[in-house]
Amino acid sequence: MNILFRGGRAFTPRGVLAEAVLVRDGVIAAVGPEADLARKAHETVDLDGGLLTPGFTDAHLHPVQAGLERAKCDLSEIFGLEAYIEKISDYAAKNPDKEWIDGGGWDMSAFPGGLPHREHLDFLDRPVYLIQRDHHAAWVNTRALEVAGITAATPDPADGRIERDAAGAPTGVLHEGAMDLVGLLTPRPTAQDLQDALEDAQRHLFSLGVTGWQDAIVGSYAGSDDQLPTYLAAARSGRLRARVVGALWWDRTRGLDQIEDLVARRTSAEGLDRFRATSVKIMQDGITENFTAATLEPYCLCGGTGLSYVDPAKLKEYVAELDRLGFQVHFHAIGERAVREALDSLAGTDPANRHHIAHLQIIEPSDVPRFAALGVTANLQPLWATHHAQMDELTLPYLGEPRSSWQYPFKDLLDHGTRFCAGSDWPVSDADPLQGMHVAVNRTEPGGSVHAGYPTAQTPFLPGQRIDLATAMTAYTAGSAWINRSPAGVIEPGRPADLVVLDRDPFALPPEEIWTTRVRMTFVDGEPVHERR
């Protein structure tokens, strides 16, 4: 079956072109003038003045966890303690037989100092476990602490912290590795729960034009179960339609002894069409808001320089062995020390393995040129680069200058020739690539954002680090597809017809209106997988 996409423009490697695109048997057959291609088509898709783009690939997200959270007590679409309590109360009332009330999506900026308290949740006699929006902390009630046996005498784990009051008593927030003290006690999802979560997430991502992704943690972390069996089953059954790479979790409590396990896990996915487990995720630090991001100089007001979860002296040895075995390394690095430690470990590795560092909130300026020099890709999460409440109230006061001005230096990285890919970190933030592109171009909150009413939301955040729309869109298409070794991501003959029809042409809009663009249709291998009603 031949399909002609006509009546608008297409985003191609040669630019945004007023040309038609012909698809034959699921593959892009030709790009050119409509008059030349029309006679070869059996069906027509009218772009109606919109833009045809390659399917978007999200280079860093957690879809199974997102799907699970959407089915539980989901706080991600609301904001503020009053709204949270109302939603939690309603969920508990509708689920009287649930042993635990679990879910997540709360925002640190909704609480003074970023910290809720167990007493807020003590109106329930059941244990409560709610994961923070960015998955680096959990909010629990007194009953959950009792079930876990956590008291003032409980020591902090090596990779986390129990928030405490002046007397040493736990206050109900568990940071990083301390989340497992309660999270692993919550009821385990069944295999069917996990399959349903993945399929729900896939439908949602298709509705946003995302046709491929890299799952940034495939393994057991922060109370979540290993998703590898879920992906293997979905790929073998054909239910997984997207093109997916799983980043296998590097257990920071172990060393080189886990390499054999990682190789076996990679082998288990060999031969599958839609899923490969060829990447390894190393989380090198935490986040700035709870002072676990690894910094070179102490945080203002509170002191301390954060955590390096993997000993930098051993990290280079681990990365060298993964590189030798042909694994891609996918780093989480937020603080400038973590970024430097990741770059140091990647020095001398094979660029052909396509290693990348995600988040990159703070980069000390002398490290910016090292990305291109070492052949390391910058994995951007643009949505975070704005004046939102968490940034202004919890991040800037603790970073101080000049460190605050080193955040999300997209333009500096671009000027040094750095290769980009991009992602959302969903469910940490919105999975919509178009919202991310808006922020990359404008450095302001998208106009439809939950926090758009925040006083500084439309004040550009470090505006000198803006990038142009073509660069941002390329990061979400060809750049992220390249990271995944996907044949899609580009509109040119011979490529799979993973395509997205946008309801308008964002290149024809004022930059401040990019966020208004929506997905009309999404195709995988030339077959529609989403159509907006």
> Domain residues of the chain, as ranges?
2-54+494-531, 99-184, 191-484
Please give the Cα distance from 72 to 87 (Å, whole number): 11
- pLDDT string in tens for the chain (533-residue length): 799 999 999 999 999 999 999 999 999 999 999 989 988 888 999 999 999 999 999 999 999 999 999 999 999 889 899 999 999 999 999 999 999 999 998 988 889 888 999 999 999 999 999 999 888 899 999 999 999 999 999 999 988 899 999 999 999 999 988 999 999 899 999 999 999 999 999 999 999 999 999 999 999 987 789 999 999 999 999 999 999 999 999 999 999 999 999 999 999 999 999 999 999 999 999 999 889 999 999 999 888 999 999 999 999 999 999 999 999 999 999 999 999 999 999 999 999 999 999 999 999 999 999 999 999 999 999 999 999 888 998 899 999 999 999 999 999 999 999 999 999 999 999 999 999 999 999 999 998 665 556 677 789 999 999 999 999 999 999 999 999 999 999 999 999 999 999 999 999 999 999 999 999 999 999 999 999 98
**Where are the extended beta strands (E) located within 107-250?**
128-132, 137-140, 160-164, 170-176, 210-218, 243-249
pLDDT value at position 20? 97
pTM: 0.92
Amino acid at 104: G
End-to-end Cα, the chain, rounded Å = 24
Domain 99-184, architecture per CATH? Roll (3.10)
Amino acid at 373: A
Three-state SS at 234:
helix
Sheet with 499-502, side-by-side order of all strands: 15-17, 9-12, 51-54, 499-502, 519-524, 527-531
**Where are the extended beta strands (E) located within 381-486?**
420-422
**What b-and-e string marks burial along 276-294, b requiring 16 or more CB atoms within 10 Å of the CB?**
bbbbbbbbbbbbbbbbbbb
pLDDT value at position 450? 55
pLDDT value at position 452? 57
Residues 6+ apart with CB under 8 A from 256: 317, 318, 321
CATH number corresponding to 2-54+494-531: 2.30.40.10
CATH number corresponding to 191-484: 3.20.20.140
**Where are the extended beta strands (E) located within 342-481?**
356-359, 377-380, 420-422
